[in-house]
Structure 1
Amino acid sequence: MSVQLNHTIIHSLDNREAAAFLADVLGLEVGTEWGPFVPVGTANGVTLDFATVPAGSLTVQHYAFLVSEEEFDVSFGKIRAAGIPYFADPRMKRPGEINHNDGGRGVYFLDPSGHGMEIITRPYGYQEPAAG
Structure 2
Amino acid sequence: MSITYKWGSDFDNTALNALHAEGFDHAPHQTDWRARLERHSLGWVCAWEDSSLVGFVNVVWDGGVHAFILDTLVARQHRSRGVGASLIATAAREARAAQCEWLHVDFEEHLSPFYFDACGFKKTTAGLIAL
The normalised TM-score by structure 2 is 0.31
> Which protein has the larger Cα radius of gyration, Structure 1 or Structure 2?
1
Tell me which protein shows more helix as a share of its residues.
2
